[in-house]
Amino acid sequence: MTVDVEQVPVGFNEGRRIVLRENARLLNAVAADEWNEAGSLIRSARAVFAIGGGRSGLAIQMAAMRLMHLGLRVHVAGEVTAPALGSGDVLIAVSGSGTSDVVVRAADTANKVGASVLAVTTAPESPLAQRARAVLVLPAAHKQDHSAEITLQYAGSLFEQSVLLAFDALFQALWSSADQSAERLWERHANIG
């Protein structure tokens, strides 16, 4: 059944219910063991690099900041201070479709230099997933799926939100086993700019 969301008036309260309900359903459907394994891969990396385009890129940048707070060496790909990716590193590559050119090319580079690719996508059979050591599937709609079968939200909103929320959950898990106080993490928080 296709629902034309524009024909259904929604106030803020209903909008909030939609966003919360869809995110709760999605996060409860992810494979927790796979996320725990991803946490181990991230924790053991020489350095962690994060890449994604558009809003997905913004969500993974927020996750990168939290990983930095844990004391990990973290870089956002494309930033002028990001060093070369190398052997022993992990590239967290985020693309809902798994076909974003810049993200797939980054995965190719990672494989060429001996880094591990951790793909985050809705598409487990995508080109990005095929290049990954580990694939974290977030079962959100592809941004061009306007059927409203998986989400009533626009474009890739559910995927982008779930990237942020799933990585915040992973951060909580990693922090709980890191024996570091909130004060210690805060010392690493940016204090200029």
* Residues tagged active-site: 160
For the chain, give percent helix, strand, coil, nearest 5: 50, 10, 40
Residues in the chain, overall count: 193
Residue 75 identity (one-letter amino acid): H
DSSP-derived letter for residue 102 is H
At residue 46, the 3 state secondary structure works out as coil
Contacts of residue 52, defined as CB under 8 A and 6 or more positions apart, other chains included, come to 58, 59, 60, 61, 93, 94, 95, 100, 103, 120, 163
Cβ 119 vs Cβ 132: under 8 Å: yes
